[in-house]
Structure 1
Amino acid sequence: MPMRFNRNRMNKGLSISTTMAMLVSLFTGTIVTAGTASAANTTYYVSAAGSDSNNGTSSTTPWKTLSKVSGAAFGAGDKILFRSGDSWSGQLLINDSGASGNPVTVGAYNTGSKPLINGGGNSAAILIDGASYVTVDGVAVTNYDGANVTDGVEGNRDGIKINGASSNITIRNNEIYNVEGFSNHSATGSPRGTSLDASANNMYMVGAIYQTGTPANNYLIENNYIHDNTVNGVLTTQVGTGLVIRSNTVNNGGADGIEYWNATSPLIEYNSVTNIGNNSGASAQTAGVIGYHGYAVAGIWGIVDTDQVVQYNYVANTNRIVWDGQAWDFDNQTVRGVYQYNFSRDNEGGFVLGGNTDQILRYNISYNDGSQQAYADQGFFNANSQYYNNVFYQNNGAGFSKSKLTAGSFKNNIFYTNASNTSYTNYQSGGPTFSNNGFGGTQSALNKGTASVTGDPLFVNPSSVGTSITSVDGFKLQSGSPMIDAGTSIASNGGKDYWGNTLYNGSPDIGAYEAPTGGTTPPPSGSDTHGGTWALKQLSTGTASGTGAYQTVSGVAASSTYVYNAWVKGAGQQGKLVVYDSSWNVLAESSIYTSTGTWTQVSTPSFSTGTNTSLNVQFIDTGTTAGTTYIDDAFLGISGGANKLTNAGFESGSTGWTMAAPYTIVQPPAPSNTHGGTWALKQLNTGTASGTGAYQAPTSIATSSTYVFKAWVRGAGQQGKLVVYDNSWNVIAESASYTASSTWTEISTPSFSTGTNTTLRVQFVDLGTTAGTTYLDDAFLGISGGTNKLTNPGFESGNTGWTMTGPYTIVQP
């Protein structure tokens, strides 16, 4: 099978010729340049209703065209702001540099949708050519030349392109979509557009965000929404040091999701990459599907990189055409990388593709990667590295394989599969070594290595897995799991498990979860939910109602053996689970349960679906004890197979369910250390005030407006304050110093004017001399009662949007 990194990927050339237009007056003989000189720290405004004869220096005298902006000269601290809701067609050229702390900034003003720059088929919609210290913040970008992005007309196009010797670049808070570049056909003869030849036109070297040219440094690419493109999502080829790609959402793309070359110590974190490579080869265009590619794509791909860190990312539904299709790819001469705390699912090519042997993959969760049986041998392809404390879970019969692995080691991992083909469950059969791994499911695992553990790992509830890095609490271990204390100690292990728990509690555990001392595992989030933040509430009155919540389930497989179960926790209330056919004849029912204070799984016996393709399932209240029971994470289907229920964990409220007394779907009270949701900001005071703390730099601030910054605080006597700064870290407002108490208390700055600021910085500052822990949650910045300007104000997306300093971390208490 051809190796991916042997693909011939050549940089496309770009010839930029810049001329100064000269206007010669026939009457005066004077010569006037078309360029516009800039005074430093000037804000320029551009509106579709403006005029290029205006001075551009106020929102009432804006410029009009991209050509006017592209022909102007800019200096350090200058801002070029496009009016929200307006659109332009053509190319915006930026070739003037800012300075450290005073970049040239392209952004937006006024309220409404992001200003749109449609490249109109140009080589790029926004081109930064040889300029450094440039920021593009808060605009929308498209680039196609036909009636729409699926009209079959292709070209060598990017969304935002950075070319030449351009360093210290920030690309953030933008939406980039419908960029129709070359589409990676493998040969001529494609039915699409220009029938391009990949060997002559290297289709991979285009992107929604694309950096090329001479070696550069210090790129921050964050919080961009990149979707529905035929090209790579993010592609950098010459950023040497200081590359950070963070908190971007890349969805529905024709080529790789995030790709970076030749970088030293790049940080790739908190990105979501989904539905990459979403059409096969040069087949006919399918309605609603964007993108054509050749033989290979990956979710997140590094090549010729050194000391990369790839963490807290979510990659799902990467397609495999002929090669690749994995979530993670480290190719060719990439050395000493770390992949940790990532979640991947349903990537057709498998978990990882790699080259060199010195990568570390730890505390990751892989769910149904390599999800088609034909692709199962791509689980670990040529990726000779150290794998420890990962969870590899398959419940679709695909199993695992380690094609071309000749070295490396697997320690403390859990392999769970219902595969029956022993070629996919044959582990230490040559190549890498295996020790202290767990093997669960129905597999007949062969050659398991040394100190292996076989049996049910007692995950909390794998069927509750969702679509984000915070939706995998079902892979925690229940008390009594044979994986607890069965691992082997590993030095330099990163210090924490997937959920942030300190390593180790006693002997190491197998899997991505380090159970608390004593092996008692609390519910994933809140005492009254088994998984997620919602549950079904059974409020018994003391008189059995004999009825309850139900769902009608279609798509049932006839002549199959099914089971219906759910998790139950309460205070002595009674009930049962019942399965009916479509005419409400009983097919199976559980014994009557009496709920206890511990989550317990209640199940019907296995039953045959017979000729039924539709079933009714119901929770029935049979109790004579008044009080509340919670029910969560229900399941109907073949044991270990796909869940046939809609909204099985009640995270979408009553969707799919019909309520009958005494059942309702609720969001139970959050844990005591979160004010809302399941995550919070933790202030761990040492007893000495640090004078610093977690901060965020929100954009799209409305000028001349009255704002307030506030948050909820709970602790045990620790001190701190909330501070608002302008973009240069000058204090605008601050709260009084708080002393945290055991009751959630809202702390607020006084109201303040935003003045001329369109960007602010907000910070939680540690002032305390009392050692201990305080939690902060549900922050707010904005006009009182208006829209919250903060990203991730409740910390439910981990560190997304926040920079941690001082004694602050974001945790799931």
Structure 2
Amino acid sequence: MRTGTRAVHSLLLAAGLMILTLFAPLSGTSAEAVSEQVAAEQAAPEQVVTGEDAAASEVSAAPVTYYVDSAEGKDTNNGKSEGTAWKTLVNVNKLTLKPGDQMRLKKGGTWQGTLKLKGSGTESNRIIVGNYGPGDALPLIDAKGEIDAVVLQNMSYVTVEGLAITNPSSNLERWARGIYIVADKPGVYRGITIRNNKLYKIEGYVTQNERHKSAAIFTDSTDSQARFEQMEITRNRIKDITVRGITGSQTAKNLNHPENINYDLKVSRNLIQNTGCDAIRVVGWNKALIEYNNIYYVGHNTRNYEASFIAAAFPQQSIDTVWQFNEIAYTKGTNPGEGRDMDSQAFDIDHTNGGTHIFQYNYTHDNEGGFVLFMGSIVMGEEVGDFKEAIIRYNISQNDGNSGQSTLVGDRLFEVHPFGGITFPVKVYNNIFYYNKGTMALQLKGDVAGLAFYNNIFQAPAGSYPVNVGAVYDNNLYSHAPSAADAHAIQADPALVAAGSGGEGLDTVDGYKLRPKSPAIGKGIIIPDAWNNVRDFYNNPLPTGTAPDIGAHQAGR
């Protein structure tokens, strides 16, 4: 039987800690409801809450709020009021927090070293770690040479909010993390929320072989029988870091036990800018929703180290992810050179994924490596089951490319690898790809049968579309000479309102709407209902049973 430290209601304990019922699918905003319709329906993994629960015996105890004041506090105080606040993290790090407990750091204060949090709340009585006091200056945790600034160890139903976190170093030959969320004992750790924090100058390894244990926010299961569920990372500001932004561990112990893969992740409304490595990397999750994030300048803060292969946002070793309403811009090419893969795209569908992965309603621009990279699967089904398909629809890409690779005829928009000779279906439809810097190029390596482009607008001075690798092109609109493989190509000016006028923000792209007499109106092929199409980029409903418009805007009725 697995053990864990998650606090549960005494009623459950009296019932012998029975197996919980399955979770409902992801829910929330109407945008999330859209993604649920397109995600493959799978039963949630079995919920297990067994073994010793350290907090359960104290469930009935009155919650306590602890205060810490780095200026006026004293460690000889009891810490239970603002007037009797502790001064350092010494007493805090000795606590095992109980359901309903709060730990508050005074605004404007600074603490050096690691804040170590332990204990679990319940679904109805969470643990809160946050701030108190007047002013706008968030309480600052400075790791001061330690690997971690904040650690959450074997916790459930805890919220960490309103903290400033930094971990600077002049030496990047080290691991460095801002918030480290770790499960190192068997159990299911649910309901962790990380929100409204500011993380900056998290500085550690940039190089490809060493960076896998560093990030501003890092989740890890170091026990094969430990997993996370219902985690939310939202409204955080992550800036000026050399490491990854938000990531899981690709060497987590539970990855080799599919029944223990993490379940139900939401990453939303975070601002991530000026990183050395990837911004959002979903690793080891079944069901993840990544939406409304703003990501700028990935790969710029490398401190002259060789970052090699990066991408702004992608799933790896995961099942059924949805990426929507995100803006990604200015990703830097970090692996340039003739004959070398460069990566550095806005999106990537990375190795060893299973299930279905959907990219919709995103706006990407000025990413040097291009719009998307598809890695295939290096080892199919080893950890997360077979890959089903990827769906890329109703996105707007503006000036993604400019890779400078002399091995390409033009600047790369797509990069596709069929690793191990494995081919997967990738459906790319009703997107707008705009490029005003030269030739828009698809880089397709080997046999990529299963890759299909329908109802897309390709607007550029010229395009390069390989036809000898099994890719399908059908019913796309080209402003230049179309793909020779596209039997129903339309070559015309798409008559967009103001192509190329997008700025920063999803609200700046009205220029990609169709003019009233656009040749794209009513000329799309009907996409099967089974693909669960609901709306266009601009929240217009799609027609049922009749031809849609080509591109990301449904102007016709």
TM-score between both structures, scaled by the size of structure 2: 0.77
CA distance in 2, matches of 1:224, 1:38: 33
- Are the equivalent residues in 2 in contact too, given 1:279–1:293 (CA < 8 A)? no
The one-letter code sitting in structure 2 at the alignment partner of 1:338 is: I
Map of 1:312 onto structure 2: 325
- Are the equivalent residues in 2 in contact too, given 1:154–1:180 (CA < 8 A)? no
CA distance in 2, matches of 1:348, 1:403: 17
CA distance in 2, matches of 1:426, 1:380: 10
CA distance in 2, matches of 1:477, 1:387: 19
CA distance in 2, matches of 1:499, 1:448: 30
CA distance in 2, matches of 1:177, 1:261: 22
Aligned partner of residue 431 in structure 1, secondary structure: coil
Alignment: residue pair count: 446
The one-letter code sitting in structure 1 at the alignment partner of 2:100 is: G
5+ long unaligned stretches in structure 1: 1-36, 187-197, 287-291, 518-813
- Residues 403-432 of structure 1 deviation map (CA, whole Å, 9 limit, x = unaligned): 22443211000011113xxxx423544321
Map of 1:53 onto structure 2: 76
CA distance in 1, matches of 2:79, 2:497: 60
- Are the equivalent residues in 2 in contact too, given 1:254–1:293 (CA < 8 A)? no
1:371 aligns with 2:411: no
- Are the equivalent residues in 1 in contact too, given 2:348–2:372 (CA < 8 A)? yes
Correspondent of 2:193 among 154, 170, 193? 170
The one-letter code sitting in structure 2 at the alignment partner of 1:177 is: Y
How far has the Cα of 1:58 moved from its partner?
A: 1.4
Map of 2:51 onto structure 1: none
1:500 aligns with 2:539: yes
Alignment of 1:377-776 (within 5 A): 378-382=412-416, 385-404=426-445, 405-419=448-462, 424-440=463-479, 443-491=480-528, 492-504=531-543, 507-517=547-557
Alignment of 1:193-204 (within 5 A): 198=209, 202-204=210-212
Map of 1:86 onto structure 2: 109
Correspondent of 2:238 among 226, 236, 240? 226
How far has the Cα of 1:378 moved from its partner?
A: 3.9
1:63 aligns with 2:86: yes
How far has the Cα of 1:462 moved from its partner?
A: 1.6
Q: Percent identity?
A: 35
- Residues 255-276 of structure 1 deviation map (CA, whole Å, 9 limit, x = unaligned): 1100111211100111111111
1:210 aligns with 2:223: no
1:242 aligns with 2:272: no
- Are the equivalent residues in 1 in contact too, given 2:496–2:511 (CA < 8 A)? yes
CA distance in 2, matches of 1:243, 1:234: 12
The one-letter code sitting in structure 1 at the alignment partner of 2:316 is: I
CA distance in 1, matches of 2:60, 2:181: 22
Flag the 1:105–1:38 CA change in 2: closer, same or farther, 3 A.
farther
- Residues 128-185 of structure 1 deviation map (CA, whole Å, 9 limit, x = unaligned): 11222221111100012xxxx4x3354212000011254321100000001112221x
5+ long unaligned stretches in structure 2: 1-58, 253-260, 336-341, 377-387, 418-424
Aligned partner of residue 470 in structure 1, secondary structure: helix
1:337 aligns with 2:357: yes
CA distance in 2, matches of 1:72, 1:98: 14
- Residues 682-705 of structure 1 deviation map (CA, whole Å, 9 limit, x = unaligned): xxxxxxxxxxxxxxxxxxxxxxxx
The one-letter code sitting in structure 1 at the alignment partner of 2:458 is: F
- Are the equivalent residues in 2 in contact too, given 1:38–1:75 (CA < 8 A)? no
- Are the equivalent residues in 2 in contact too, given 1:263–1:305 (CA < 8 A)? yes
Map of 2:167 onto structure 1: 143
Aligned partner of residue 218 in structure 1, secondary structure: strand
How far has the Cα of 1:90 moved from its partner?
A: 0.8
Correspondent of 2:178 among 159, 180, 183? 159
Aligned partner of residue 92 in structure 2, secondary structure: helix
The one-letter code sitting in structure 1 at the alignment partner of 2:227 is: P
CA distance in 1, matches of 2:68, 2:60: 15
The one-letter code sitting in structure 1 at the alignment partner of 2:112 is: S
**How well do the aligned residues superpose, as a CA RMSD in angstroms?**
2.1
CA distance in 2, matches of 1:402, 1:464: 26
Aligned partner of residue 359 in structure 1, secondary structure: strand
Flag the 1:417–1:493 CA change in 2: closer, same or farther, 3 A.
farther
How far has the Cα of 1:372 moved from its partner?
A: 3.4
The one-letter code sitting in structure 2 at the alignment partner of 1:230 is: T
- Residues 639-676 of structure 1 deviation map (CA, whole Å, 9 limit, x = unaligned): xxxxxxxxxxxxxxxxxxxxxxxxxxxxxxxxxxxxxx
The one-letter code sitting in structure 1 at the alignment partner of 2:442 is: S
Map of 1:362 onto structure 2: 393
- Are the equivalent residues in 1 in contact too, given 2:403–2:412 (CA < 8 A)? no
Map of 2:148 onto structure 1: 124
- Are the equivalent residues in 1 in contact too, given 2:283–2:318 (CA < 8 A)? yes
CA distance in 2, matches of 1:495, 1:319: 33
CA distance in 2, matches of 1:205, 1:303: 15
- Residues 194-221 of structure 1 deviation map (CA, whole Å, 9 limit, x = unaligned): xxxx3xxx31321100000242212100
Map of 1:348 onto structure 2: 368
Aligned partner of residue 503 in structure 2, secondary structure: coil
CA distance in 1, matches of 2:182, 2:465: 49
Q: Of Structure 1 and Structure 2, which has the larger fraction of its residues in helix?
A: 2
| Between 71-80 and 358-367, the greater mean CA deviation after superposition | 71-80
The one-letter code sitting in structure 2 at the alignment partner of 1:485 is: G
1:256 aligns with 2:290: no
Map of 1:77 onto structure 2: 100
- Are the equivalent residues in 2 in contact too, given 1:220–1:245 (CA < 8 A)? yes
- Residues 64-109 of structure 1 deviation map (CA, whole Å, 9 limit, x = unaligned): 1111110123200111011111111111001211122222211011
How far has the Cα of 1:293 moved from its partner?
A: 4.7
How far has the Cα of 1:402 moved from its partner?
A: 3.2
- Residues 457-508 of structure 1 deviation map (CA, whole Å, 9 limit, x = unaligned): 0000023211112211100000110010110111234210000000028531
The one-letter code sitting in structure 1 at the alignment partner of 2:344 is: G
The one-letter code sitting in structure 2 at the alignment partner of 1:513 is: H
Aligned partner of residue 456 in structure 1, secondary structure: coil
The one-letter code sitting in structure 2 at the alignment partner of 1:259 is: R
CA distance in 2, matches of 1:128, 1:465: 40
- Are the equivalent residues in 2 in contact too, given 1:277–1:293 (CA < 8 A)? no
Map of 2:315 onto structure 1: 302
CA distance in 1, matches of 2:358, 2:322: 5
Flag the 1:293–1:95 CA change in 2: closer, same or farther, 3 A.
farther
Map of 1:773 onto structure 2: none
Aligned partner of residue 121 in structure 1, secondary structure: coil
Flag the 1:347–1:360 CA change in 2: closer, same or farther, 3 A.
same
- Are the equivalent residues in 1 in contact too, given 2:247–2:282 (CA < 8 A)? yes
| Between 166-175 and 370-379, the greater mean CA deviation after superposition | 370-379
- Are the equivalent residues in 2 in contact too, given 1:407–1:432 (CA < 8 A)? yes
- Are the equivalent residues in 1 in contact too, given 2:312–2:345 (CA < 8 A)? yes
The one-letter code sitting in structure 2 at the alignment partner of 1:208 is: A
- Are the equivalent residues in 1 in contact too, given 2:402–2:411 (CA < 8 A)? no
CA distance in 2, matches of 1:160, 1:225: 13
Aligned partner of residue 204 in structure 1, secondary structure: helix
The one-letter code sitting in structure 2 at the alignment partner of 1:209 is: I
- Are the equivalent residues in 2 in contact too, given 1:363–1:497 (CA < 8 A)? yes
- Residues 493-552 of structure 1 deviation map (CA, whole Å, 9 limit, x = unaligned): 4210000000028531000000042xxxxxxxxxxxxxxxxxxxxxxxxxxxxxxxxxxx
